[in-house]
Amino acid sequence: MTKALLLDFWREIRHSANRFFSILLIVAIGVGFFAGLKSAAPDMKHTMDGYFDQSNIEDINVMSTLGLTDKDINAIRKTEGVQAVQPGHFTDALTKENGSQLVFRIHGLPTGTSTINKVTLVSGRMPTKANEIVIEDSANYGRSLKVGDKLTFTSGTSKKLTDGTLSTDTFTIVGRAITPYYLTVEKGTSQIAGKSINLFAYIPDDTFTVKDDNGNPIYTQASVTVKGARELNAFDSKYDKLVGKTEDSLNNIGSDRARERGNEVRNAAQQKLQESQDEYNKKKAEYDQQIADAQNKLDDANAQLASGDAKLDGSKENYQLKKENAQLQIQNGQQQLDSAKQQIESGQAQVDAGQQAYDSLKQQYDSLNQQMGQATAMTQWMQQQMDSMSGNLKDLNDQMSKLPPDQQQQMKPIIDSYQKMYDQLSQQKSALDQTTKGVQQLQGSVQGAFDSAAAQLQEGKDQLAQAQQEYQQGQAKLEAAKKQLAQADANASKQFADAKAKLDQGKSEYQKSKADFETQKDDGAQQLDDAKEKLIAAKYRIDTLNNPKWYVLDRNANAGFVSYKNTVDRVNAISQIIPVFFILVAVLVCMTTMARMVSEQRGVIGTYKALGYENNAIAMKYVLYVVAASAVGGIIGAIVGAWTFPESVYKAWAAMYRQPPLVHGFHPLIILTSLLITVGAMALVSYLTCRKELNSQAATLMRPKAPKIGKRILLERIPAIWKLLNFSQKVTVRNLFRYKRRLIMTIVGIMGCTGLLVAGLGMNDTIGSVVAKQYGKVFAYDMSVSIDQTATDAQVSAIYDALDGNGAVKSYTRAGVGSVSISNGGDDETLALYAVNKPDSFADYIRLDDPSTGKTIHLTDDGIVLTQKLAKNLGVTTGDTVAVRDPGGMTKRIPVTGVTENYVFHYAYMSQKSYAKYFLEQLPPNTLLIKFNDKATARQESNLTKALQNSAGVTSVTSYTKVADEFRDQIKAMNSIVLLIIVCAALLAFVVLYNLTNINVSERIREIATIKVLGFKRGEVAMYIYRENLLLTIMGAVLGLLIGSGLHRLIMQSIEQKDVTFGYVISPWSYVWSFLLTLLFSIIVMAVMYPKLVRIPMVESLKSVE
């Protein structure tokens, strides 16, 4: 390139800065997105590989179905390619935090500086004693547990942890730690049926007490590192190939060791079975003898009871005879007493009559005595009166004799009267004396009769008193006899009652002993039958016992490693699809831009040709123009993108992984590739664009390009439509088809941007729909409750009562849930299997629908139903068979009777009858599935959860509302990438629209100047251009909606996880928002371009051809 061309090249950049920077910007976006997303995966791999190497994480983990012995460890150590081997132990255990159950995976803590799977201490210290423990430093579980707290663990089964697993089950927390061995919150399925691991923990390895019958240690696993693996990236194929060789060698050795170990275990089991058989026979003989002895004792006791009944009945009869005789004697005595009583009553009547006669005589006698006393008193009184009157008469006579005669004559009647009174009194006295004599005579006769009656009455009383005394004595004797009889009857009754009670007690004890005998007999028989069944099952297991299987697992068996690797692969898959759209759109826009630039500079090109410059030299100016813009934009985009994009993507997954700080790597190949592809494509497009003009003659180029021949467009041939359009609309339609290249480029550019928006929003819709489908449609229940296998019937009934009495609970059912492994000739898939008692009603809790037809799948008594992604991973369909290994290690091939719809994780479903058919026993019904009413509140759910957690017999309570929220939080990491895609798509849309609009204005500057001269207002001038942009935007957006749907499907297929089925869901609103955002970007570009349209100079623009 000559100096003049070089000078013109720099001048061109200065004069067309907008065009130069638009190319630079669009290339920067495309290369930045390409290099950034392409660098994200290597940076994430490099960072995590360094983290693994720093902690010396195992390359291979070896486990066996029968554990590993020291011989196995030595065989592993001698295997080619093995750098180091570390035997170890782990077990899964349950504990509680604030009433909520936690599942711990407890590892034996490795020691030494060359420890495999090192643990990084976050706080506290490492355990040094058997009862000390360091737990995971997790933000999801165990947040209330503190250093110094004590944890008591259970096995989740009837067996205690201290029975051959650990020396103690109670530990003191001494620290918190992290390890890259567990990267994610999800740590896989535990060995406890139906439970996932919540936290890991480490204890001193010598706390484990797992040994064989000879006291030799049995290891749960062996951690192996491979020579040369640390120098390789664990995510590269070279690492897989190197580890794969050692893995194959270990598998070969494992086959030999498994065969030898199988023979050892089989022989030991056969010997133990024989000992158990001998012990069974001995116990059976002892049982038969004990039953016979007990039966004899019961028969003797029954005979003694029968004899006692007979003796008691005889005693009762004898007593009854004696009692009747005594009662007869008492009855005779009573009759004699009654006769004596009648005589006493008759004598009493006679005594009473005599007493009445005596009383009458006594009354007469008393009356006579009274009269006699009165007569005596009257006689004495009368005598006194007579004596007084006699004295008085003498005195009167003496006085009268002294008186004169006249006075004597006067006194004489008085004295005569007085004498008369004296005579009368004397007569009365005489009469009274006669009467007194008569009374005395009568008194004498009455006195005799009275004395006689009194004597007779006293004699009668004496006789009556004697009879009464004799009667009372007889009555006392009779009462004494009655009392004696009553006392004898009471004593006899008591003796009989005591005898009867003793006899009844004997009978009760006999019946109890008989019932106990029957129970113990039945229990003993049942125990013998159970023991016999166990012997038969043990013999069957020994007969069908396969050699123990070695599981030689690389890091792809580590849930955290695989999840992280899948994440990196998804990021890498996105980086291989979406950046292509950015670069393609950039190339198309560059093609349009350079075509316009070359068209504008036809005269300059003609001048160079006329001056003798070669075509390649002239083309080099435009190629360098594009290369300069692309190179600068590419370098800026590569640097910014390679630094910011990996950091953004890496941080987006921080919620899911325990990640160290991102280590930015230098990826020259990615940067150079992105630059070479972009710059090369831009240079090629620029050269091809110039070549057509360079083939023309200089004179032709120096003249203005002749306008294209006007052609009628399709709408003009349809008068009915064409006549309806006004002038502006007709001009717009004509211009759209006049500049076909610009039309195509604009539509393609907008289509790409809208398609990216649809794909990005569709990813968000699809990921979000997974939770709703899984925990709303497939899992129709709301809560699950795990019941301890050792729970009593009373405890289970109490749980049922709590559910029945809760108004929020609509219904519930019980099922068995166990952890099983399923394979089909390849790697095992570990998952939860549901064994159902009531298959007909199970659809109310978990829907089993065919994903293709939507028809309900019914559980049969022979077969297993798998979820769709599990069946796809195993490569099986309905009618095929799969190998299922139960929690006890028994493996059976079972036919697949259906493949059901499912979106998150893997599950399998069987009826209990089908499970028992293959594994000889039913899966314990250890899980309750609970449905809530539609009106149930979050508070009711929370209260029920707390009540169940505090119930005896409950080991865990899982709310699927919480599970759905946790899963939704985990997949939110994808939203950051979706947002990144949307933002970049928006920037790309803006740049494309701005660039194409700028080209459109530049191409039609004279046309715009002309309509301004004609008097068009500013708004009319703007709409003259904007109508075309809006129509092109709408057409490109509509096509972009269709392209976006296909792009979304392609992206979802590339990022789909091993245990998640995303589907292809795009919400109608995503289409609407994609369309509206595209229109918004177009409107923003119009607003940016408006000042340029307004400032177009009319005169200079119209003279531009000159």
Tokens matching residue 1018: 């500013």
Structure tokens at 839: 């298959």
Sign of CA dihedral 45, 51, 56, 62: negative
Rg (CA), the chain: 63
Q: How confident is the model at residue 361 (pLDDT cuts 50, 70, 90)?
A: low
For helices 70-77 and 237-402, what crossing angle results, to 10°? 150
Percent of the chain clearing pLDDT 90 (strictly above): 14
Q: Given a cut of 80, is residue 306 above it in pLDDT? A: no
Q: What span, in angstroms and rounded, lies between the C-alpha atoms of 614 and 623?
A: 14
- Judged by DSSP in three states, 162 sits in coil
Summarize pLDDT for 1017-1029 with one digit per residue, the tens.
877 777 877 788 8
Q: How confident is the model at residue 545 (pLDDT cuts 50, 70, 90)?
A: low
Model pLDDT, residue 909:
94
Q: Which phi and psi angles does 507 have, rounded to 5°?
A: -65, -45
**Cβ neighbours of 380 (radius 10 Å):** 10
Beta-carbon contacts of residue 588 (< 8 Å; ≥ 6 apart): 745, 748, 749
pLDDT above 70 covers what percent of the chain?
A: 85
Residue 911 confidence (pLDDT): 92
The residue with greater pLDDT, 993 or 168, is: 168
* Mean pLDDT along residues 649-658: 73
Query: Which range has highest mean pLDDT (301-315, 493-507, 866-880)?
Result: 866-880
Which helix or strand (DSSP H or E) is residue 893 part of?
Answer: strand 891-900
Q: Flag whether pLDDT at 851 surpasses 80.
A: yes
SS3 (DSSP) at 171: strand
Q: Residue 177: phi, psi to the nearest 5?
A: -150, 165
Q: What pLDDT shows up at residue 908?
A: 93
pLDDT digits (tens, 9 = 90+) for 943-970: 888 888 778 888 778 877 777 776 666 6
CA distance 12 to 199: 66
- Dihedral sign (CA 520, 523, 529, 531): negative
In contact, 111 and 205? CB cutoff 8 Å: yes
Window from 294-303, 757-766, 1086-1095 with minimum mean pLDDT:
294-303
pLDDT at residue 1082 is higher than 80: yes
What does the alpha-carbon distance between residue 535 and residue 100 come to, in Å, rounded to a whole number?
Answer: 39
pLDDT(221) > 70 = yes
Which 3 state secondary structure label does DSSP give 377? helix
pLDDT of res. 202: 94
d(CA 95, CA 1049): 44
Measured in whole angstroms, the distance separating CA 263 from the mean position of its chain's CA atoms is 43
What's the pLDDT tens digit per position in 418-462?
A: 777 777 777 777 777 777 776 667 666 666 666 666 676 677 667
Residues 571-598 pLDDT 10s? 887 777 777 777 777 777 777 777 777 7
pLDDT interval class at 133 (50, 70, 90)? very high
Query: Do 749 and 1085 form a contact (C-beta atoms < 8 A)?
Result: no
- Distance between CA atoms of 1084 and 1076, rounded to whole angstroms? 12
What distance in Å separates the CA atoms of residue 26 and residue 987, rounded to the nearest whole number?
9
The pLDDT score that the predictor gives to residue 204 is 92
Query: Higher confidence at residue 459 or residue 785?
Result: 785
Query: Which of 912-921, 958-967, 985-994 tops mean pLDDT?
Result: 912-921
At residue 1039 the predicted structure's pLDDT band, cuts being 50, 70 and 90, is very high
Write the CB contacts of 127 (distance below 8 Å, at least 6 apart in sequence).
109, 133, 134, 171, 174, 175, 202, 203, 204
The band of 379, judged by pLDDT with boundaries at 50, 70 and 90, is confident
| pLDDT value, residue 480 | 75
Q: What is the DSSP letter of 557?
A: G
Q: Please state, in angstroms and rounded to a whole number, the distance separating the CA atoms of residues 705 and 710.
A: 14
Residue/partner pairs of 700-706 with CB below 8 Å, 24 or more apart: 700/606, 701/602, 701/603, 701/605, 701/606, 701/609, 702/602, 702/603, 702/606, 702/607, 702/610, 703/606, 704/1105, 705/599, 705/602
- Main-chain dihedrals φ then ψ at residue 1057, nearest 5 degrees: -90, 165
The residue among 1011 and 923 whose pLDDT is bigger is 923
- In whole angstroms, what is the distance from residue 937 CA to residue 836 CA? 29
- DSSP-assigned beta bridge partners for residue 959: 783
Give residue 151's pLDDT. 92
Residue 668's pLDDT band (cuts 50, 70, 90): confident
* Domains defined for the chain, CATH in brackets: 1-37+555-706 (no CATH), 52-246 (no CATH), 247-544 (1.10.287.1490), 739-770+962-1106 (no CATH), 771-961 (no CATH)
Give 705's DSSP letter. P
Asked whether the predicted pLDDT for residue 1104 surpasses 60, the reply is no
Which residues pair with residue 92 across a beta bridge?
105
Compute CA 416 distance to the chain's CA centroid, rounded to the nearest angstrom: 152
Which range has the worst mean pLDDT, 230-239, 699-708, 924-933, 943-952?
699-708
Tell me what pLDDT residue 147 has: 92
User: Sign of the CA dihedral 597, 598, 602, 605?
Assistant: positive
Tokens at 473, concatenated: 């004595």
pLDDT of residue 177: 93
Burial class (CB in 10 A: 0-12, 13-18, 19+), 708: exposed
Q: How far apart are CA 864 and CA 860, in angstroms?
A: 8
Confidence tier at 62 by pLDDT (50, 70, 90): very high
- Look at residue 710 in the predicted model and tell me its pLDDT: 62
Contacts for 584 with CB less than 8 Å, ≥ 6 apart: 752
pLDDT of residue 186: 73
Q: How far apart are CA 329 and CA 481, in angstroms?
A: 9
Confidence at 499, pLDDT banded by 50, 70, 90: low
pLDDT above 80: residue 1095: no
The residues, any chain, with a CB within 8 Å of residue 627's CB and separated by 6 or more, are: 679, 682, 683, 686
- pLDDT, greater one: 645 or 501: 645
pLDDT given for residue 1065 in this prediction: 82
Q: What is the mean pLDDT of residues 321-329?
A: 71
Computed over every residue of the chain, the mean pLDDT equals 80
pLDDT of res. 895: 94
Q: Which tokens belong to 716?
A: 């003009």
Q: pTM (2 decimals)?
A: 0.62
Positive/negative CA dihedral, 664, 668, 673, 676:
positive
Residue 1003, CA distances (Å) to 20, 735, 997, 1042, 1104 in order: 17, 11, 10, 31, 11
Instruction: Identify whether the C-beta of residue 359 lies closer than 8 Å to the C-beta of residue 450.
Output: no
**C-alpha pair distances (Å), 526 with each of 91, 775, 790, 1005:** 33, 44, 20, 103
CA distance 1056 to 868: 13
**Cα angle 551-554-558, degrees, rounded to a multiple of 5:** 95
